[in-house]
Amino acid sequence: MAVCEERARTDLSGIYAAHALTRSSSGVGTALGLTLAAGAVLALRLDAPAFFDNEARYAEVAREMLLLRDWISPHLDFTLFLNKPPLTFWLTAIVFQWTGPSEWARLVSLAAAMVALFATCRLGAHLYGARPSLVAGVMLATSLGFVLEARTLRPDMLLTAAVVVALLCWLRAETAGAVRTRWLAGMYAALGVGVLAKGFVPLVIAGLPIAAVTLRERGWPGVRALRPGLGLAVLAIVVLPWHIAVALRHPGFAWDYVVNQHLLFFLDRKFPRDSEGDGLLFFWAAFAGRALPWVVLLPLTLGEAVRGAARDASPAERATFLLWAWAGGTVLFFSCAPSRLEHYTIPALPGAALLAARVWQRADAGELAPVGWRMLVFVGAAIATVGLVSLGYGRALLARTYWIADAPELLALVRPAASVVLIGGVLAALASFWRRPDLLVGSLAVSMIPLVGIVLRAEVAAEPLFSWRPVATMLTASLSPETEIVFEAPEEYQLVGGLAFYTRRRITLLEPAVRFIPPTYLRGQMDAMFLSRPDFERRWRAGERLALVSDSQRRRDDPHGLVPDPFHVIGRFGDRWVLSRVPTGR
C-alpha cells in the first residue's frame, strides 16, 4: 500500500511540480488581500433587493428553526420540510441570531464566496504559478454569475466552496509527504460539508476531475492511494449524525431523501413535481452568461487540455486537463439530467476562471498563436456589435415582455448596460489586435464593474415581480390581523416561504389544482397541510375574513374565477393577484 501511494504521488505531483517555488507566504497574503477586498465590495448593499422566491424559502426555514428551537427537523410554514440538507438553514439561523430575520442572511453565501475565491487563488498557484493565480482570482471575482451567487441566499455557493477546497486539499496531499493523510482527511471533510449543503452532488463534481486524473496517471492503484476507507470514516463523522437523527425521528425520510430527492430528481421523476428542468440550450447559454466575460477565453485552452490527457504531457497541460475535467465535467454531468436547472453550473465557475487565467499566462509569455489573437479580435468585435444593437433596439425588444410594465425602471437600464458592453467590446478588440494580454484582461474586468452594478440595480427594480416583500407589506397595511391569508399553492408549494417570511405569520395553503403526491415523510398529514377548495369556497361565501394570494406561476390577466363573488382587489404584483373577501380597513 505504501509503495502504491508513493508511486501515485510521484506521478500526480507532475501536475504542479513546476510551480513549487510559487507557494510562499507572500502569495498567500496577496490572495487573502484580494479575497478581503472582493468581499468588502460584494457586501455593499447586501440587503438589496428583498429576498426572491428561492432565497426566502431558506430564510423562512431558518426563522422557524429559531422560533421552534428545533435544529434537527426543518419546518417551512410550520410544516415539516426535509427536502433539503440542513447546513444553509443552520448558518442562516446563526446569522439571524445576530442580525434578526433580514436580507443580511446573505452573509452566508458571501462568506462561502470568499472561501471559494481564496481557495481558487491557492489552487491556481499550485497549477500555474503565483501571477496567474491572482489573475484567476480577479477573473472569478468579476464573473457575472459568481457575483450574483455571492449575493444570493441558497446552498450553491457553499457547494462551490466545498468543491474548490476539496480539490485544493487533494492536490496538496499529492506532495504532502508525511502529512498526506491530513490533507486527504481535509478533502473528505470539505466534501462532507458540501453534502450537508447540497446532498450528494459535491461527491460527483469533485470526484469527476479527481478520478479522471488519478485513473489516467496510475489506474486503480492510484484510487486505492486516495484512502477510500479514510474517506468513508470522515464522511460518516460529518454527514451521518443529522441524517440518522432525522431518519429515526421521521419515518419515510430516508427513502425520500436518498431515492426521491436524489435519484428520481436526477431522472426528473420525483414527486411532488415541484420543479421543471431547463432546456439543454438554455442551460448551456446560462452557464456562458454566468461565466461572462471570461467564457470567451475558454476555447483557447481546449487543445492544451487534449494534450494534457497524454502520459508525457507537461505540468501545465496536465493542469489544464484537470480543470476541463472539473468545469466541463460539471456542465456535462448536469446536461445529462432532465431535471437540470441553470444555476447548477455555478461550481464550474472557479475552474473556468483558472482556465481563462491560463490563456492570459500563455499570451503574456508569447505562446498564444496568431489565430488565437484573431479569434479574440473577432470576439471583441462581436461583443461591441451586441452592445451597439442593444443601444438602438434593446428597449423596444424588452418592452415586448408583458411584465415589464410592472417594472418600468428596467427599460431605463438598457442603454447604460448596452453602452458598457459596447465600450468593453471595443477595448477588448483593440487589446487583442495590439496583442496586449494585460490590457485585454483589464478592459474586460473593469467593464464588468459597472455592468454588474446595473444588473444588481435591475434586481432591485424587479423586486415587485419576484419578491414577496411588496405583497406582504400591502397585506399587512390593508388587512386586519385577524384576516386569514390563503396562498393558492402550486405543486411547488415551497413558494409560500417568502410570504410567510415577510408577513411573519403562518399562511394557509390552498390545495394545488393538480393531484398532489407528498413526500413520504408527509403522508398522512395532507389534511393539516392544505385547505381543500370546497372548504375555501364555502368559507369565502360565508363572509369570513379571508384574503387570497394567487399562484405566482400562472399568468392571469383577470382575477375573476379565482374566488367566488364578491371580492375586492387589493393589488397585483406581476402574475400575483391579492384579493380579499371584505373591504380593506375593516
- pLDDT tens-digit profile of 283-293? 999 999 999 99
Cis omega (within 30 of 0) for bond into 293? yes
Q: Provide the pLDDT confidence category of residue 4 given band limits of 50, 70 and 90.
A: very low
Give me the pLDDT at residue 517, please.
84
Q: Return the residue matching grid coordinates 455593499.
A: 44
In the predicted structure, residue 79 carries a pLDDT above the cut 90: yes
Give me the pLDDT at residue 12, please.
53
In the predicted structure, residue 153 carries a pLDDT above the cut 60: yes
- As a whole number, mean pLDDT of residues 504-522 equals 88
Give me the pLDDT at residue 10, please.
42
Q: Provide the pLDDT confidence category of residue 585 given band limits of 50, 70 and 90.
A: low
Which letter, b or e, does each residue of 34-70 get, where b requires 16 or more Cβ atoms within 10 Å of its Cβ?
A: bbeebbeebbeebeebbbbbbbbbbbbbbbbbbeeee
What distance in Å separates the CA atoms of residue 60 and residue 499, rounded to the nearest whole number?
9
User: What cell was used for 111?
Assistant: 462568506
Which residues, including other chains, have CB under 8 Å from residue 288's CB and lie 6 or more apart? 295
Q: Are 576 and 486 in contact (CB under 8 A)?
A: no
DSSP 166-204: HHHHHHHHHT-GGGHHHHHHHHHHHHHHHHHHHTTHHHH
- As a whole number, mean pLDDT of residues 170-196 equals 90
- As a whole number, mean pLDDT of residues 461-485 equals 92
Name residue 549's amino acid: V
Q: Are 442 and 139 in contact (CB under 8 A)?
A: no
Give me the pLDDT at residue 277, please.
81
Residue 321, helix vs strand vs coil: helix
CA 251 to chain centre: 30
Give me the pLDDT at residue 404, please.
83
In the predicted structure, residue 27 carries a pLDDT above the cut 90: no
Q: Provide the pLDDT confidence category of residue 507 given band limits of 50, 70 and 90.
A: very high
Of 1-5, 229-233, 344-348, give the lowest mean pLDDT range.
1-5
Give me the pLDDT at residue 8, please.
40
Q: Mean pLDDT score of the chain, rounded to an integer?
A: 90
Give me the pLDDT at residue 166, please.
97
In the predicted structure, residue 237 carries a pLDDT above the cut 60: yes
- As a whole number, mean pLDDT of residues 18-25 equals 45
What distance in Å separates the CA atoms of residue 326 and residue 328, rounded to the nearest whole number?
6
Give me the pLDDT at residue 515, please.
80
What distance in Å separates the CA atoms of residue 124 and residue 133, rounded to the nearest whole number?
4
Q: Write the pLDDT tens digit of every residue in 83-125.
A: 999 999 999 999 999 999 999 999 999 999 999 999 999 999 9
- As a whole number, mean pLDDT of residues 404-431 equals 92
DSSP 451-484: HHHHHHHHHHHTHHHHBSHHHHHHHHHHS-TTPE
Give me the pLDDT at residue 223, please.
84
Cis omega (within 30 of 0) for bond into 272? yes
Of 48-62, 165-179, 311-325, 462-476, give the lowest mean pLDDT range.
165-179
Q: Return the residue matching grid coordinates 487533494.
A: 170
Give me the pLDDT at residue 528, please.
83
In the predicted structure, residue 150 carries a pLDDT above the cut 90: yes
What distance in Å separates the CA atoms of residue 290 and residue 397, rounded to the nearest whole number?
22
Domain boundaries, the chain: 2-47+102-364, 370-466, 469-580
Residue 445, helix vs strand vs coil: helix
Give me the pLDDT at residue 218, please.
78
Give me the pLDDT at residue 215, please.
86
Residue 76, helix vs strand vs coil: strand
Q: Provide the pLDDT confidence category of residue 5 given band limits of 50, 70 and 90.
A: very low
Alpha-carbon torsion (243, 248, 250, 254), positive or negative: positive
Q: How many H helices and E strands in the chain?
A: 27, 8
What distance in Å separates the CA atoms of residue 354 and residue 164, rounded to the nearest whole number?
11
Q: Write the pLDDT tens digit of every residue in 377-417.
A: 999 999 999 999 999 888 888 888 887 878 888 999 999 99
DSSP structural state of residue 175: T
Give me the pLDDT at residue 22, please.
43
What distance in Å separates the CA atoms of residue 498 and residue 57, rounded to the nearest whole number?
6
User: What cell was used for 315?
Assistant: 505540468
Q: Are 65 and 171 in contact (CB under 8 A)?
A: no
Name 155's bridge partners.
none
Give me the pLDDT at residue 53, please.
83
DSSP structural state of residue 581: S
- As a whole number, mean pLDDT of residues 414-424 equals 95
Give me the pLDDT at residue 491, please.
84
Element (H, E) at 336: none
Tell which residue, 504, 503, 513, 527, has the closest CA to residue 578: 503
